[in-house]
Structure 1
Amino acid sequence: MIIALSTAVPLLAAGLLMMWTANRAKAQTVPRNFWSGIRTASTLRSAAAWRAGHAAAASFSVGGIGLIAAASAAVFAGER
């Protein structure tokens, strides 16, 4: 059970962080910075490119949902 939880907790945290970032990106409230968000050469080129790149990033929430599902699968797989 300890191994299952030590796997599930980081997966859950990463999934929640990814969903939070995707929701902020969709709402276009992620400020232009070098720490959070999609930091590619093209998105850092201008404020308009930053907004356009993050508006397209709303689909990242699907990855967050996948990580949360993997966390729950890790807990159930550890029950055996």
Structure 2
Amino acid sequence: MEQEETGQPRRPRARRRGQGELEVQVLSALCEAPGPVDTAWVRERLGGDLAYTTVITILTRLLAKGAVVRERV
């Protein structure tokens, strides 16, 4: 295992997603939804390792594209 200049072992880099891959994953999760769902529900279906704000960003982009609708409660 390689080491950084500090002497600490380097962590392997996470695989970078392809362009639009996360949007596709979010849309797939939404297709399985029993009805209107919130950001936390989507995040949970994606494995829960994404930041809450990342999921909100993707949902906002999908909203701007007209791919999803928002219902404020």
TM-score normalised to structure 2 length? 0.28
Q: Which protein, 1 or 2, shows the higher relative CO under an 8 Å CA cutoff with sep ≥ 6?
A: 1
TM-score where L is the length of structure 1: 0.27
**Higher alpha-carbon Rg:** 2
Greater helix content: 1
